[in-house]
């Protein structure tokens, strides 16, 4: 959510920020609704004062036994109370913090303001490579993609999943299912033991307000699965993790708060028709280890670098080649101020593919969640800043291992870091 006071004071800068997002200038419409809201607020205060005054006068007269003199004031009080009720209803419908109001709905539909140094660009082709790690492996045989490898091993079954669930689902069996579990456990152990994240096991179903608080609604409603009772399956554990500080005031000395969770994630992939229909890259259900940071306003940029380094460390431990990309304006997500994508090398596709996206959000989500911090020794509070990142997407990590560690005979080597999680096993063989 945007700071309406800042927009009021900087309408031109706000419009320029929205234009960078490919949107038309919108400050005039926002300020029109804001003026109406403020005018309504003034009327409400005036009527409330009159209501209070009448209540005191009526009370005084009734205490003196002057019921007849109080009668016209009581009639006026009834009129004022009706007016007050109507104004309160109008105020709720006009408030910027109400998602279904004209002002709140408009503000809620607009993306975050990007940092000034985010490169301009239309799409991912204009992202900037910041660094890379290791070199793609060379093979002395014809490389297969993960689908052919997994099916030949007898451990990846798309036919059964399609029969029971439809497209974009999969069944993993045997050592492949175990490798998926090993990856999640390995990532959680590293992030908790080495980097100090607190592990959380959160709900997988949340209410609409929780989705709105993390900017999933209304923007990504079509990409979400809604249940018959109005709840939503989480598209990422970012949603429940950040909602742990909803409506909270945290003492600043307790920041940063760093949380991690391994959960299944559910996405309808409504906007990806025809993309990545083969294999495990883009599924309706997938596992991901999420990283969340809740920080003081001056800690965000440093924390983004730290979070990205934590995700990179996982790939380094797995010895998987990758590169880090600074996303351009046309590829930066709705809620992000700036984003670094980590892309892992996929030999079966001869291409780098996103495996982690680490974003600095600033106070954009905190305003929706009303999540605040209080500096030590001060009474005033301020909104916290939030960050989120994948640490990593487990399914895509599994793909990268199958393709980078494949052998000519169809077997797959297990990365050294994962062998303790596989009872010392070093190679996956056909079942």
Q: CA-CA distance, 54 to 76, in Å (whole number)? A: 8
Residue 92's pLDDT is: 65
Q: Are strands 249-251 and 372-374 parallel, antiparallel or unpaired?
A: parallel
407 in a structural domain: yes
234 in a structural domain: yes
* Residues 327 and 407 grouped into a single domain: yes
| Three-state helix/strand/coil letters over 377-406 | CCCCCEECEEEEEEEEEHHHHHHHHHHHCE
Instruction: Answer yes or no: are the C-beta atoms of 341 and 325 closer than 8 Å.
Output: yes
284 in a structural domain: yes
* Residues 290 and 360 grouped into a single domain: yes
Catalytic annotation, pick one of 57, 126, 151, 354: 354
Q: Is 357 a catalytic residue?
A: yes
* Residues 63 and 152 grouped into a single domain: no
Catalytic annotation, pick one of 101, 372, 396, 403: 396
118 in a structural domain: no
Average pLDDT, the chain: 94
Band (pLDDT 50/70/90 cuts) for residue 271 is low
38 in a structural domain: yes
The percentage of the chain sitting over the pLDDT mark of 90, rounded to a whole number, equals: 80
Q: Is 282 a catalytic residue?
A: yes
Catalytic annotation, pick one of 282, 323, 374, 413: 282
Residue 80's pLDDT is: 81
Q: What is the average per-residue pLDDT within 196-213?
A: 97
Last residue of a domain, one of 108, 134, 169: 108
Q: What is the average per-residue pLDDT within 409-417?
A: 98
* Residues 210 and 139 grouped into a single domain: yes
Cα 286–chain centre separation: 16
Q: Is residue 377's pLDDT more than 60?
A: yes
* Residues 182 and 315 grouped into a single domain: yes
Catalytic annotation, pick one of 357, 367, 390, 403: 357
* Residues 281 and 373 grouped into a single domain: yes
Residue 93's pLDDT is: 64
Last residue of a domain, one of 76, 108, 140: 108
Which residue pairs from 142-146 have beta carbons closer than 8 angstroms and sit at least 24 positions apart in sequence?
A: 143/347, 143/348, 143/403, 143/406, 144/348, 144/403, 144/406, 145/278, 145/279, 145/346, 145/348, 145/349, 145/403, 146/279, 146/280, 146/348, 146/398, 146/399, 146/402, 146/403
Least confident of 53-57, 246-250, 349-353: 53-57
Q: What is the average per-residue pLDDT within 237-263?
A: 97
Q: Which residues sit opposite 264 in a β-bridge?
A: 287
Q: What is the average per-residue pLDDT within 39-66?
A: 86
* Residues 91 and 132 grouped into a single domain: no
- At 5, list the tokens: 């006071």
* Residues 243 and 382 grouped into a single domain: yes
- At residue 245, φ and ψ (nearest 5 deg) are -110, 15
* Residues 94 and 147 grouped into a single domain: no
* Residues 90 and 226 grouped into a single domain: no
Instruction: Specify the CATH number for the domain of residue 100.
Output: 1.10.287
* Residues 272 and 341 grouped into a single domain: yes
247 in a structural domain: yes
Q: Is residue 248's pLDDT more than 70?
A: yes
Last residue of a domain, one of 108, 135, 164: 108
116 in a structural domain: no
* pLDDT single digits (tens) 273-308: 667 778 999 999 999 999 999 999 999 999 999 999
Q: Is 338 a catalytic residue?
A: no
Q: Count of domains in the chain?
A: 2
Q: Is 53 a catalytic residue?
A: no
Band (pLDDT 50/70/90 cuts) for residue 87 is confident
Q: What is the average per-residue pLDDT within 68-85?
A: 83
* Residues 74 and 163 grouped into a single domain: no
Q: What is the average per-residue pLDDT within 196-218?
A: 97
Its domain, for residue 143, covers 124-428
- At 309, list the tokens: 């380094």
Instruction: Answer yes or no: are the C-beta atoms of 299 and 254 closer than 8 Å.
Output: no
Cα 67–chain centre separation: 61
In 3-state terms, what secondary structure has residue 194? coil
Residue 94's pLDDT is: 60
Cα–Cα distance list, 301 to 74, 117, 245, 365, 388 (Å): 59, 12, 20, 16, 12
Instruction: Specify the CATH number for the domain of residue 266.
Output: 3.30.930.10
49 in a structural domain: yes
pTM of the model: 0.90
* pLDDT single digits (tens) 158-169: 999 999 999 999
Q: Is residue 202's pLDDT more than 70?
A: yes
């Amino acid at each position: 959510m945007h700071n309406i006071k800042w927009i009021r004071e900087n309408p031109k800068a706000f419009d320029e920020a929205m234009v960078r997002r490919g949107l038309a200038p919108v400050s005039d419409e926002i300020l029109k609704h804001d003026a109406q809201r403020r005018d309504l607020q003034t009327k409400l205060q005036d009527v409330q004062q009159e209501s209070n005054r009448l209540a005191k006068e009526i009370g005084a007269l009734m205490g003196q036994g002057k019921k007849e003199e109080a009668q016209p004031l009581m009639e006026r009080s009834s009129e004022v109370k009706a007016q007050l009720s109507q104004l309160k209803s109008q105020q709720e419908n006009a408030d910027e913090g109400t998602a279904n109001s004209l002002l709140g709905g408009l503000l809620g539909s607009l993306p975050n303001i990007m940092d000034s140094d985010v490169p301009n660009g239309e799409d991912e082709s204009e992202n900037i490579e910041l660094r890379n790690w290791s070199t793609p492996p060379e093979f002395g045989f014809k490389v297969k993609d993960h689908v052919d490898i997994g099916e030949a091993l007898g451990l990846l079954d798309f036919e059964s999943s399609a029969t029971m669930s439809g497209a974009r689902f999969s069944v993993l069996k045997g050592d492949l299912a175990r490798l998926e579990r090993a990856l999640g456990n390995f990532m959680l152990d590293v992030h908790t033991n080495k980097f100090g994240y607190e592990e959380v096991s959160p709900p997988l179903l949340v209410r609409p307000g929780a989705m709105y608080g993390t900017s999933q609604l209304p923007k990504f409603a079509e990409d979400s699965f809604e249940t018959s009772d109005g709840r939503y399956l989480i598209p990422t554990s970012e949603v429940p993790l950040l909602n742990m500080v909803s409506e909270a005031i945290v003492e600043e000395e307790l920041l940063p708060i760093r949380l991690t969770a391994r959960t299944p994630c559910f996405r309808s992939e409504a906007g990806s028709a025809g993309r990545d229909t083969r294999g495990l890259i883009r599924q309706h259900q997938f596992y991901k280890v999420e990283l969340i940071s809740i920080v003081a306003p001056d800690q965000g940029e440093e924390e983004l670098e730290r979070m990205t380094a934590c995700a990179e460390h996982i790939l380094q431990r797995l010895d998987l080649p990758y590169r880090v990309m600074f996303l351009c304006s046309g590829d930066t997500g709705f809620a992000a101020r700036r984003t670094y994508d980590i892309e892992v090398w996929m030999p079966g596709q001869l291409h780098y593919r996103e495996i982690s996206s680490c974003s600095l959000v600033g106070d954009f989500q905190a305003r929706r969640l009303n999540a605040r911090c209080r500096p030590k020794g001060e009474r005033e509070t301020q909104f916290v800043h939030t960050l989120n990142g994948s640490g990593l997407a487990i399914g895509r990590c599994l793909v990268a291992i199958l393709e980078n560690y494949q052998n000519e005979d169809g077997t797959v080597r297990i990365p050294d870091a994962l062998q303790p999680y596989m009872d010392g096993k070093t190679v996956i063989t056909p079942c």
